């Protein structure tokens, strides 16, 4: 038997969902069965699977120890002595990291899990005593947004469940503005405007396609842009994401004839050749927490704006 005392990060969850997180090797169907048979009890009594947990509740699981085996999240953070994070902002609820180009946000095929942004964030919190996995039954610090491997810039991480829920809700409600800097070939006309269309994702090719009209499986994509500088055949744009589709900025700019410098997927090798750049010139440059509606525990962030420390291509091509 294992007993879990519900803490703030686990409060508000359904009993069945908490069970699957606390016992990661327990099959969902078996979890439902054990709840029905009262082998999983809430405050000493049987409970329905959709019972909501409150801080201070006791959940006792009369199940085999084998279902609790394994380390949540893979434990990659345990091997990191120096997280090497560029932290733009941090408080007790969130952290804004300035990700370097070339690093994945989450583990991918053939990539060491320790060489990811989320593992380094978790290592930073673990080594600083801000997160103790043994004291958390189900919550793990998580990223609220992600950017492409070869894109640099700001990524928001949540340190607790309440912050994760609020930031994710605000992103979905478009109450957090995300701005990118992009170096492109040519100059868009007009010099400021709004790109509207639809994006279809080909998962097998990990590539998206832009269309002017809605087609089955396509999703609306909207980006605002303005030219902020020019140099030779390049333009520096600031782009504001209205929607957040996969490869949205890269695909939409290529679609209007202004591909990103160094973009091997949507760009043009003949135009890139003179510059010798092998990564797209794209940086998640600025984040604004507008929060026009209530943000609960994060209301103190309303109106706050944060900027990435640098975008290497700005200095290299536009200084």
d(CA 201, CA 73): 27
Residue 18: CB atoms within 10 A of its CB come to 25
Find residue 197's DSSP bridge partners: 221
Structure tokens at 245: 């589709």
DSSP readout, 147-210? Answer: --TT-EEEEEEESSHHHHHHHHHHHHTT-EEEEEEEEEES--SSSEEEEEEEEEEETTTTEEEE
109 is catalytic: no
The answer to whether the beta carbons of residues 146 and 250 sit under 8 Å apart is no
Query: Which residues are registered as beta bridge partners of 114?
Result: none
Report in angstroms the alpha-carbon separations of 11 from 5, 161, 303: 10, 9, 29
> Is residue 31 packed enough to be buried (19+ CB in 10 Å), middle (13-18) or exposed (0-12)?
buried
Reading the block at residue 259, the tokens are 């591909």
Burial bucket for residue 74 (CB in 10 Å: 0-12, 13-18, 19+): middle
154 vs 159: CA distance, rounded Å: 16
Given the residues 16, 148, 162, 272, select the one marked as catalytic: 148
Report how far residue 42's alpha carbon sits from residue 57's, in angstroms, rounded to the nearest whole number: 7
CB 38 within 8 A of CB 79: no
Active site residues: 148
């Amino acid at each position: 038997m294992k007993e879990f005392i519900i803490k703030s990060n686990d409060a508000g969850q359904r009993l069945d969902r908490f069970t699957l997180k606390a016992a990661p090797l327990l099959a969902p169907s078996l979890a439902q069965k054990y709840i029905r048979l009262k082998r999983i009890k809430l405050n000493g009594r049987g409970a329905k699977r959709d019972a909501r947990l409150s801080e201070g509740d006791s959940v006792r699981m009369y199940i085999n120890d084998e279902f609790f085996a394994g380390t949540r999240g893979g434990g990659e953070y345990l091997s990191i002595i120096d997280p090497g994070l560029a932290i733009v902002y941090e408080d007790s609820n969130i952290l804004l990291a300035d990700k370097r180009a070339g690093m994945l946000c989450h583990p991918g095929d053939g990539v060491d899990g320790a060489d990811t942004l989320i593992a380094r964030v978790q290592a930073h919190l673990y080594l600083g005593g801000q997160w103790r996995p043994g004291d958390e039954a189900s919550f793990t610090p998580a990223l609220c947004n992600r950017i492409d491997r070869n894109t640099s810039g700001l990524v928001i991480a949540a340190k607790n469940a309440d912050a994760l829920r609020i930031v994710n809700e605000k992103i979905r409600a478009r109450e957090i503005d995300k701005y990118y800097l992009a170096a492109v070939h040519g100059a868009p006309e007009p010099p400021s405007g709004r790109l509207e269309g639809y994006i279809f994702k080909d998962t097998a090719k990990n590539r998206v396609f832009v269309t002017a009209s809605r087609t089955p499986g396509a999703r609306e994509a909207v980006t605002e842009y303005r030219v902020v500088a020019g140099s030779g055949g390049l333009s520096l744009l600031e782009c504001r994401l209205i929607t957040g589709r996969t490869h949205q900025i890269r695909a939409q700019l290529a679609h209007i004839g202004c591909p990103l410098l160094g973009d091997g997927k949507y760009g043009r090798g003949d135009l890139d050749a003179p510059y010798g750049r092998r990564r797209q010139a794209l940086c998640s440059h600025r984040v604004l927490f507008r929060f026009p509606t209530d943000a609960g525990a994060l209301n103190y962030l309303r109106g706050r704006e944060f900027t990435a420390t640098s975008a290497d291509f700005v200095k290299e091509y536009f200084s």
